[in-house]
Amino acid sequence: MTESPRWFKSSYSSNGGQCIEIATNLVATHGTIPVRDSKNPTGPVLSIQPNAFASFVGSVKRSTFGN
């Protein structure tokens, strides 16, 4: 049986429409974190390595993303 992603948005997300959803439940079994656009749940899904996702989140928290 294939495990399905359990999608969720951050509790910090507002209804501004600029949200992503992630499914951390697949890290242990697949080694990736699926990411999708919350406005397009049937659209494409990116599979991100956990260390790359952690680096991204850390950069956003430090406000250094894109600098």
- 26 domain residue, yes or no: yes
Instruction: Provide the token pair at 43.
Output: 């659209």
Q: Range of 12's domain?
A: 1-40
- Tell me, yes or no, whether 36 lies in a domain: yes
**1 DSSP assignment:** -
Could you say which DSSP state residue 56 is in?
H
pLDDT in tens, 25-64: 999 988 999 999 988 999 999 999 999 999 988 988 888 7
Beta strand 46-48 pairing with 20-22:
unpaired
49 in a structural domain:
no
Within-domain flag for 23? yes
3-state secondary structure labels for all residues of 15-55:
CCCCCEEECHHHHHHHCCEEEEECCCCCCCCEEECHHHHHH
The count of domains in the chain is: 1
Residue 9 lies in a domain: yes
Residue type, 33: I
Q: Does 47 fall in a domain? A: no
Q: Is the pTM of this model over 0.95?
A: no
